Amino acid sequence: MLQKIRENWDKILQLMRDEYDISPVGYETWLRPLQVESVDEDNHIVNIVIMDSKIETIGLNFIKKKYSFVLQISIEEVTGFKCTVHFYSKGQADTIKEPELPEVKDSSLMTIMQNANLNPKYTFDTFVVGSNNKMAHAAALAVAESPAEIYNPLFIYGGVGLGKTHLMHSIANFILKNDPSKKIMYVTSEKFTNELIDSIRNKNFTTAAQFREKYRNNDVLLVDDIQFIIGKESTQEEIFHTFNTLHEAKKQIIISSDRPPKEFETLEDRLVSRFEWGLTVDIQSPDYETRMAILRKKEEMDGYNIDNEVIKYIANNIKSNIRELEGALTKVIALSKLDNKEINLDLAEEALKDFISPNQDTEITPDTIINVVADHYKCTPADLISSKRNKEIVIPRQIVMYLCRSMTDCPLQMIGKYLGGKDHTTIINGIKKITKQLDTDENMKTTIDVLKKKINPT
């Protein structure tokens, strides 16, 4: 592999320059002096030396923070070798070793993690990387390695139970492990809203100040499930100011959501644009190999060695939600303990009979579509069925029409019936409108993709 990377080195650097808009001066100053020193194939590490003594002292940290991630991706793209890069100055190259981490007593680190609302089990070590989350994982690791320096904010989005929270906690745990003095706070946007309401209700200056201090005085703030702030004006206002304070002070912000920022139609533009300032990455549903790897990881962590047939059975039948995937394995193990029986396919089928129906492909109905679209746009199914003409309802309603046409066999008249008795010309017009918009409007394309995945995650 060392030879392959060396042979392709110019190509790798040029790819970095072109893909990531590195200026000519940046290319000459930072990238040209890099040379591959060695490759540790077992641990997927590429050691790179900076051959220019003028830049090595100031350049080492900068290059590490700014270019590790893109270099890793470029090496992988050109050679197919997935790796982590380690940079060294020329003098260090002979004695390559990992920097030592500060000694931390486990119990005190635990307390710090608890105070930050972090789950110590959610780490990069326990996170299985697959094609569905590769980019999100790489970005998360880059942020963990250089908080507030590369991607700020980091915005992670994806469907339910796909690992967004796990990845966020991994970043925070990684940062704390390296430097326990960092101030980190994890919060769901729901909890943030509730605490904000409490602080306002008390009409007490101290409480309001404490609330601000709690969220603004951090090195890293992680806000999970940000979609819950839709329609909550005071929360949006508070998030806006918290964001500005932290960003201006060069503190890291990490946000998760069930949709990309562009999809927040009813959220203030100033917030949406801020969410897009850094990097937005998504997590998709896991493929079969990743589902198998996640199940294997979990059984290993729980200390079991389960028959391959059983693992395959679960991975084949539970596809869209990793939380459910893990829940299925837990159920199988629990039944075997309860009945004192060996874990085999029969026991797995018995344990999961309510979980996995013999014909798992449940039919998509207009009702399902109406419910998902209503939930997505934070309105009610009744709004969509009504004859309300305001834009906030008309567009989602037309989207329902379009999705019913493209995802079900339902005739136009029947779709009209599901939508409160609309005639079939209204339905045709709605479908045409969305179809036209899909030709020109990228946002609409993303919305439709996200909704389709929510309706049929498999």
| Binding residue ranges for ATP | 161, 163-165
Q: Determine the Cα–Cα distance for residues 171 and 177; give it in Å rounded to an integer.
A: 10
Task: List, as one string, the DSSP characters of 155-224.
Answer: EEEESTTSSHHHHHHHHHHHHHHH-TTS-EEEEEHHHHHHHHHHHHHTT-HHHHHHHHHHHHS-SEEEEE
Residue range at the interface with ligand ATP (CB under 6 A); choices 15-23, 123-131, 228-236, 329-337: 123-131
* Residue 159 one-letter amino acid: G
Asked if 200 interacts with ligand ATP (CB under 6 A), we say no
The nearer residue to ligand ATP, 127 or 418, going by C-beta atoms, is 127
**CB of residue 143 to ligand ATP, shortest distance in Å:** 16
- Position closest to ligand ATP via CB: 163
Residues in contact with ligand ATP, shown as a per-residue x/- string from 145 to 184 under the rule CB under 6 A = -------------x-xxxxxxx------------------
Q: How many residues interact with ligand ATP (rule CB under 6 A)?
A: 19
The nearer residue to ligand ATP, 12 or 162, going by C-beta atoms, is 162
| Radius of gyration for the alpha carbons in the chain, expressed in angstroms and rounded | 25
**CB of residue 300 to ligand ATP, shortest distance in Å:** 11
The nearer residue to ligand ATP, 126 or 217, going by C-beta atoms, is 126
Q: Determine the Cα–Cα distance for residues 72 and 76; give it in Å rounded to an integer.
A: 6
Q: Which residues pair with 34 in a beta bridge?
A: 50
b vs e for 76-115, b when ≥16 Cβ sit within 10 Å of the residue's Cβ?
bebbebebebbbbbeebbeeeeeeeeeeeeeeeeeebbee
CA distance to 1, 84, 113, per residue, from 42 (Å):
11, 12, 31
The nearer residue to ligand ATP, 330 or 443, going by C-beta atoms, is 330
Give Cα 3 to chain centroid, integer Å: 35
**CB of residue 326 to ligand ATP, shortest distance in Å:** 5
**CB of residue 288 to ligand ATP, shortest distance in Å:** 14
Q: Determine the Cα–Cα distance for residues 388 and 397; give it in Å rounded to an integer.
A: 10
For residue 153, is the peptide bond before it cis, meaning its omega torsion is within 30 degrees of 0? yes
Residues in contact with ligand ATP, shown as a per-residue x/- string from 308 to 327 under the rule CB under 6 A = --------------xx--x-
Alpha-carbon torsion 353, 354, 356, 357, what sign?
A: positive
Residues 260-299 that bind ligand ATP (CB under 6 A): 294, 297
Asked if 90 interacts with ligand ATP (CB under 6 A), we say no
Nearest to 168 by CA among 294, 256, 47: 256
Asked if 428 interacts with ligand ATP (CB under 6 A), we say no
Token pair, residue 117, equals: 């609302």
Q: Which residues pair with 188 in a beta bridge?
A: 224
Residue 74 phi/psi, 5-degree rounding, is -65, -40
Residue range at the interface with ligand ATP (CB under 6 A); choices 126-134, 197-205, 343-351, 450-458: 126-134
Residues in contact with ligand ATP, shown as a per-residue x/- string from 380 to 419 under the rule CB under 6 A = ----------------------------------------
Asked if 133 interacts with ligand ATP (CB under 6 A), we say yes
Token pair, residue 191, equals: 């909890």
Can you tell me which of 128, 220, 315, 434 binds ligand ATP, judged by CB under 6 A? Answer: 128
Can you tell me which of 67, 88, 127, 211 binds ligand ATP, judged by CB under 6 A? Answer: 127
The nearer residue to ligand ATP, 262 or 323, going by C-beta atoms, is 323
Q: Are 403 and 455 in contact (CB under 8 A)?
A: yes
The nearer residue to ligand ATP, 44 or 323, going by C-beta atoms, is 323
**CB of residue 163 to ligand ATP, shortest distance in Å:** 3
Q: Determine the Cα–Cα distance for residues 20 and 408; give it in Å rounded to an integer.
A: 42
* Residue 197 one-letter amino acid: I
The nearer residue to ligand ATP, 128 or 347, going by C-beta atoms, is 128
The nearer residue to ligand ATP, 28 or 289, going by C-beta atoms, is 289
> What are the residues binding ligand ATP (CB under 6 A)?
122, 126-128, 133, 158, 160-166, 225, 294, 297, 322-323, 326
